[in-house]
Structure 1
Amino acid sequence: MDTKQRKPRGRPSSRLQILDAAETVVFEVGANHLTLEAVADRAGISKGGLLYHFPTKEALLQAMLRRFIEEHHARRNELCARLPCTPDAQFRALIATKLEKDIGDDCQMAQSMLAASAESPQLLDPVREAHDCENAILRQARDPDLARLLWLATEGLMVTEMLAMNPFSAAERASVISLIERLADTMCRPDSPTPPPQQ
């Protein structure tokens, strides 16, 4: 993997310093080849100091995923606070947050985590928990079926890009994103009719 440094996050605590170091190691060698010794060395602490916060490699990798998800949630809440107060504000913010992300920044991380999860499926538990929370938002939308469809379209686009398997040209990708946004905006308009309940 290409070596890549994550952007500094200020003056981190020991825990955050370890997570920053772990991300750098993952970018350098991949999640499968990450060792606690390498992370401790990169963080400038003893292995014992690292084990105090993260007793296993899996715990460390899960913490990295949780931090990524928490940052995503914080951004979603920030966007939601700026939207009109409607029943679909959380949903619209959810879609906007996913679409605004520069997937290229996280391709290596996603690929490494997926590779590591082949041996430890529970590694992706934080992602499953995040999807459960997002599904709760979809259920509250005025048109839950359309909300699920737009969520799936957005997730599909993200996954194909994370796996470097996106078949679309830049123009086609932009057209897909524009359509998702238009449909989400239409659904979330205050005057948008509520669909009849399914029988």
Structure 2
Amino acid sequence: MKRDALLDAAEAVLCELGSQALTLNAVAERAAVSKGGLLYHFPTKEALTGALVGRVIDEFDALVAEHAARGGSYTRGFVEASFEILAAPSGERTARRWAAITAAACSAELRTPLSEAMHRWHHRDPGEEPDPLTASVVRLAAEGLWEVSAQDPGGYSAEQYAALRRRMLDLL
């Protein structure tokens, strides 16, 4: 079984049953593999949780870089990447981020990579943006939307997400 499929199973356990239900046995059962098969890839629950966090960070970083490379500032890339995930019909990538954050909340060691990513995402070099303060406000607004969307899935329609995205980009 591939590593990503095991991480998908762990996310499903987290999203459906909560962080207390995240055990190696539950993930192996969800993935329909032996516990030994899971342990081959993730020898501990901490390793599994760390991989969940790492995958979310890496995916978001890559998406921001991809959007920023198309022209525009880092914050434009951040907004575009955020809305690409938030406005996706299935909502699975929003749930993925929520699952990783929830799983990491139980350990300072697991929170460290997420804290470092948050610092990198929200404390940019002021010279990178035409209006650094507005760029910070827009990134923080997008971050807040992540939180609201995680707690209230389906709370915004596609049209509402599109309007919010346009307004954030207009602010820049």
Tell me, yes or no, whether TM beats 0.5: yes
Match of 2:80 among 87, 90, 96: 96
- Counterpart check, 1:61 vs 2:61: no
Residue 172 and residue 138 in structure 1: after superposition, are their counterparts in 2 closer, same or farther (change >3 A)? farther
**Larger relative helix fraction:** 2
Match of 2:130 among 142, 145, 157: 142
Which structure 2 residues correspond to residues 13-162 of structure 1 after superposition, within 5 A? 14-83=2-71, 89-102=73-86, 104-106=91-93, 108-109=95-96, 112-113=99-100, 115-117=102-104, 119-137=106-124, 139=126, 140-162=128-150
In 2, Cα distance between equivalents of 1:110 and 1:136: 20
Superposition RMSD in Å: 3.2
The answer on whether the counterparts of 1:107 and 1:163 sit within 8 Å (CA) in structure 2 is no
Aligned residues: 168
Unaligned 5+ runs, structure 2 = none
Normalised TM-score (structure 1):
0.66
SS in 1 for 2:152: coil
Normalised TM-score (structure 2):
0.75
Residue 113 and residue 148 in structure 1: after superposition, are their counterparts in 2 closer, same or farther (change >3 A)? same
Which one-letter code corresponds to 1:182 in the other structure?
D
What is the CA-CA distance between 1:110 and the residue it aligns to? 5.1
Q: Which structure has the larger Rg?
A: 1
What is the CA-CA distance between 1:151 and the residue it aligns to? 0.9
Per-residue deviation, residues 42-61 of structure 1 (Å, max 9, x unmatched): 33433233234323223212
Which one-letter code corresponds to 1:92 in the other structure?
R
In 1, Cα distance between equivalents of 2:21 and 2:155: 30
In 2, Cα distance between equivalents of 1:56 and 1:25: 16
What is the CA-CA distance between 1:15 and the residue it aligns to? 2.2
What is the CA-CA distance between 1:177 and the residue it aligns to? 3.3
The answer on whether the counterparts of 2:75 and 2:139 sit within 8 Å (CA) in structure 1 is no
